[in-house]
Structure 1
Amino acid sequence: MKITELFSVQSLKEMKLIAGETGKEREITTINMMDAPDIIPFLNPNEFLVTTAYHIKDQPDRLLDLIQAMANRGCAALGIKTKRFLHEVPKEALTLANKLALPIIELPYELSLGEIVNQTLRAILDHRAGELASALEIHKHFTSIIMQGKGIHSLLEKLSQLTQRSVHLVDHHLMPIAEPCTQLEIFSSLKSDLDQDIRHLALATNRNLSFSVISTKETHTLFPVNMSEKKSAFLILTGSVSQENHLAVLTIEQAINVLSFALMKEHALRQHERRIRNDFFLQYLDGAFTSNNEIINRAKEYSLPNDTDYLCVAGKLDNENNDHMYTQRKQTSETPFEFIEDMIHRNITNVHFFTKNNTCILLFEMPTQQHELVLQTIQEKVAKTFEQTISFGVSNLCYSFIKVQTAYQEAVEALSQGERSKKISFIQHFQTKDLTELLRLIPEKEMSHFYNYTFKDFSTCKPEEKESLLQTLFVYLETHCQISETAKRLFIHRNTVVYRIDKCEELLGRSLKDPEATLQLRVAFQIQKLLAPRLHIHNHEPKT
């Protein structure tokens, strides 16, 4: 309790402050009664010393030494029972006490020192009990806010009301977790002004630290909030928070305790959801599912619709030591990857994040031309935060989730291409190398339309005849239009091949000696290879 609050105690109301009035806000945590000549070595901070001054009645100058020593040790006040042995306090002592802001209190003659000590201790304990009772009520209220599902946002608003300060909750990268409606926008300045060493010191000492923001000239106090074994958040309040302001400190401590449990719970749930989601994606990439329907249905559970466009990006930290064990590499990349995932979760929509070994995977849903800007921003923030560089390989656009497996392979290949070029902090796009990869860039609907248009005239044939004609045409084109080789591969007579090719030219209305016609047919057969499993198109390659 403060010295000013001591005067409000009914049994001590006769006490008078006779010097050091500027120090009346000093904190009293204990009281001591001493009349021995060697008092000074036993003085303690925030101590209220009461005495009859018996040991200095014949040497008033020793009172000056006592006052100076009490000020040096941070004592709260000196209480002297006058009209007992020391009839009045020397003016020199009063002057020194005023200079040092050390209160000197004249104690009532009617009360013994024992009674003064007892009454003061009772007042201190009552005051402390009141603070603890208030803290308990505040803790119950904060807990109730979370238990009722009102969320961290409402808790911070209540804390802001109780402390009369703006309150911010940020993660260990100073990214806002939750903010009351009346927040000041300080995060941009905090990121540049709050040195990383301050955050590390706050975590290491597990105590609050005060700092001033250069750009705004405002003081803020930083409180660590545990949210997992490896991660901590920070509660930031405007202004400095003195440890002597017990009620404010207790209020903040209760808020931190409740916030810590709430953040731990959210973090654990989020990690569990991420792990399950990531496991599904890895199983899909490894071909663990037996049917497309199973993949599509499972993907829907994780908000990954099949009928949409995707762009797959594979990322890896540069300059990794390949001699390191897998676990060491994973530990090296885990923190930056978590940072990227949190950044995407908070700021970027329609981007799904996964990890596989020491590679991160960004799946852009319905991508636009802004994906390169997103990747560049990630590179800049990783370099600034971790002093590491990261590179990305980008796939071609695919038109359904089923095709993401191929897109992932393209992204990894693009990443490998950049690594083989000895580049760092690059964004490498996949380069198409053959016709099949080129066709994958075309929407399936358009490919199906091209296939059906090319062979539309064969629909007039019976199914068995259509199948034999298309199979013969396929092998004929594959053997560079050699009739004998076609007959050999199909185990049929040469004249049968001639008849079927003539029939095909008749249905197509074009000669197979026309390069443009054969090119169209070859492309159609390549499309057939890609779409046969999904569109139930017969594979016209001969069985061996």
Structure 2
Amino acid sequence: MKLKELIEEDLLSGVKYIAGENGNYRTIKTVQTIETTQVDKYHQADMLYLLDNNEMLKNNEKMTKLITQLAESHAAGIVIMENQAEFLTYDLLELAERLAFPLIKMPNLFSFSDGMQLFFEAMLQQQTGQLRKIIQSNQDLADLVLKHPKVEAVLTAGSKIMDTPIVLLNSHFQVAVASQELHGQENALTKFFRETRIDYFSLEKRITVEMGDDDYTLFPLFPAFKENKAFVGVKNYRDTDEFRIILQQLIMNTLSFVNSQIDMLKESDFRNLSGFFLNVLDGGVSKELLEKRLLEMNLNPNTKYTAIMTNVISVEPSKMVNYHILEQVQQLVTWFINEYDLPAIVFSWRQRLILLLDSSENEDHFVTAMQEFISDKTPDSYQFLIGYSKSSATIENLIDIFKESREASRTVEQDPALKIRRYQPKYVQELLSLIPHDESSDFTDKFLAPLLKMDNVEEREALISTLEQYFYYHQQLAQVARSMFVHRNTIIYRIKKVEDLLGVDLSDPQTAQNVQFALWLHKAN
């Protein structure tokens, strides 16, 4: 407890300061008497010494040494009886003032043991009062929680209990709520905290920062995921005794509980938002209802977005992705977006995150920065991959850009070294290359085998070339002849030769389609 608090007890109404009252902030834990002149024996911190030795009091040199030594040792002060005060010289009183070391007098008693008893009883009375305050404070805070209070109510109650202003900062070091004494200062405090060089993302221990003549002690409040932690800032906090530490912990526990309730509401909102966008993807929301809902969400229905799909995979193919990692990535992505105040919407789809980024933003820069940020914060045994759309669209046409992001995501999952992939439309040759080789060979043999197995290489190549041009020019014989610089009859002869070899009629659309596709597969392989 503080010396000031002890001296204010009714039992000590006759106790007065002689000098050094400016040191009444000192902590006192117990009381001891000084009975000898051996100054070096007395140097215990937080001890209030009762000086029961007139010889010492009359020795100015030893008293100077004693006061200096006890002040440096963080002792609480020295107590003498009222009739001994005359032994203290002006120099000793001036020294006590300069060192902020209390010299105290108590009424004349029969013995110093009576004085010790008096102080012990006062300390017990003070501790009993503190215990009552702890119990009452705990009850008051519990009652607030039961009434589902706003965070502001808890902060204001906490500031009264701690007798100092309190603020709640979110995970971005922005003052979300302030107790009543600091109303109107939230923006200035946010600017101050964010301009400090503190790595608040990684901050996990209590820290004190100076702000002019004041200081703020910041205590992290940890929810289920540290990426979503908050901070409690206590102005001019001093944990000088167990009493204040217990009060501080009561307030931290209450704010932590209230903050976790807020996190649960945010998670519920996220699930509802995801459900809404899944309905949009399924086509289950009418245009009128969609526009109404978007306006309720303060979103412009005409805004175009780029779709971004994220995924987490294990480096070891046989290892499943831990659900905790997926939750952590969700928190990290949300933190990243909020930290830089980015115009992006986030929802979940089959354990993946879908981000809709306002098309006015540079999507290439965004996905690169996000991939680096998330990868740096997740375990090395996992990879964070991103696929995103080439096009942009309004939410009404969400399915189009969603499909592009999904296709890009599939591509990067097949080659994780890419990390990031933007959707690129596949051309015919790319699509053909995706067909398994054995299936491709079987199809080619079925429709082209006699042609491909001709012994005369020169004739075979001429027939294949003619067939390709025949399909390219939509079976227009004159155009095929001109493109190959031969007579039209030559083309007619070659096409008839192909039909005879393959046993087909190329004037039949289905047959022509199969033969053309077989040619594409042959060329692709």
> Would you say the 8 A contact 1:228–1:267 is kept in 2?
no
Name the counterpart of 1:48: 48
Which runs of structure 2 are paired with 1:488-499 in the superposition (5 Å)? none
Name the counterpart of 1:341: 334
Name the counterpart of 1:174: 173
> Would you say the 8 A contact 1:17–1:106 is kept in 2?
yes
Tell me how far apart the structure 2 counterparts of residues 391 and 273 of structure 1 sit (CA, whole Å): 24
Pair 1:193-2:191 in alignment: no
Tell me how far apart the structure 1 counterparts of residues 238 and 254 of structure 2 sit (CA, whole Å): 21
Counterpart amino acid of residue 45 in structure 2: P
Tell me how far apart the structure 1 counterparts of residues 344 and 96 of structure 2 sit (CA, whole Å): 68
The one of 250, 254, 257 equivalent to 2:253 is 257
Name the counterpart of 1:242: 238
Give the number of aligned pairs.
418
The alpha carbon displacement at 1:246 in A equals: 7.8
> Would you say the 8 A contact 1:82–1:106 is kept in 2?
yes
Counterpart amino acid of residue 235 in structure 1: V
CA offset digits 1:377-409 (Å, max 9, x no partner)? 6755776798679855225457888974x7545
CA offset digits 1:216-246 (Å, max 9, x no partner)? 8863221222323645321123x42122488
Name the counterpart of 1:184: 186
> Would you say the 8 A contact 2:308–2:386 is kept in 1?
no
Name the counterpart of 1:393: 388
Which runs of no fewer than 5 residues in structure 2 stay unpaired? Answer: 378-383, 432-473, 477-504, 513-525
Name the counterpart of 1:534: none
> Would you say the 8 A contact 1:52–1:82 is kept in 2?
no
Name the counterpart of 2:435: none
> Would you say the 8 A contact 2:274–2:349 is kept in 1?
yes
CA offset digits 1:419-467 (Å, max 9, x no partner)? 9999989783544757xx9xxxxxxxxxxxxxxxxxxxxxxxxxxxxxx
The one of 215, 219, 224 equivalent to 2:220 is 224
Quick one: structure 1 residues 136 and 373, their matched pair in 2 at CA, closer, same or farther if it must change by over 3 Å?
farther
Which runs of structure 2 are paired with 1:10-159 in the superposition (5 Å)? 10-36=10-36, 40-41=40-41, 43-53=43-53, 56=56, 61-81=61-81, 83=83, 88-159=87-158
For structure 1, which segment, 122-131 or 390-399, has the greater mean C-alpha deviation from structure 2 after superposition? 390-399
Quick one: structure 1 residues 433 and 184, their matched pair in 2 at CA, closer, same or farther if it must change by over 3 Å?
same
> Would you say the 8 A contact 2:359–2:392 is kept in 1?
no
Tell me how far apart the structure 2 counterparts of residues 135 and 398 of structure 1 sit (CA, whole Å): 58
Tell me how far apart the structure 2 counterparts of residues 224 and 242 of structure 1 sit (CA, whole Å): 17
- TM-score under structure 1 length normalisation: 0.59
Quick one: structure 1 residues 400 and 355, their matched pair in 2 at CA, closer, same or farther if it must change by over 3 Å?
closer
Tell me how far apart the structure 1 counterparts of residues 216 and 371 of structure 2 sit (CA, whole Å): 26
Sequence identity percentage: 16
The alpha carbon displacement at 1:338 in A equals: 1.4
For structure 1, which segment, 61-70 or 245-254, has the greater mean C-alpha deviation from structure 2 after superposition? 245-254
Counterpart amino acid of residue 50 in structure 2: V
Tell me how far apart the structure 2 counterparts of residues 212 and 234 of structure 1 sit (CA, whole Å): 16
The alpha carbon displacement at 1:104 in A equals: 1.5
Quick one: structure 1 residues 261 and 102, their matched pair in 2 at CA, closer, same or farther if it must change by over 3 Å?
same
Tell me how far apart the structure 2 counterparts of residues 273 and 325 of structure 1 sit (CA, whole Å): 34
Tell me how far apart the structure 2 counterparts of residues 77 and 199 of structure 1 sit (CA, whole Å): 43
Quick one: structure 1 residues 192 and 387, their matched pair in 2 at CA, closer, same or farther if it must change by over 3 Å?
farther
Name the counterpart of 2:449: none
Pair 1:233-2:223 in alignment: no
The alpha carbon displacement at 1:67 in A equals: 1.8
> Would you say the 8 A contact 1:50–1:78 is kept in 2?
yes
Which runs of structure 2 are paired with 1:461-500 in the superposition (5 Å)? 485=508
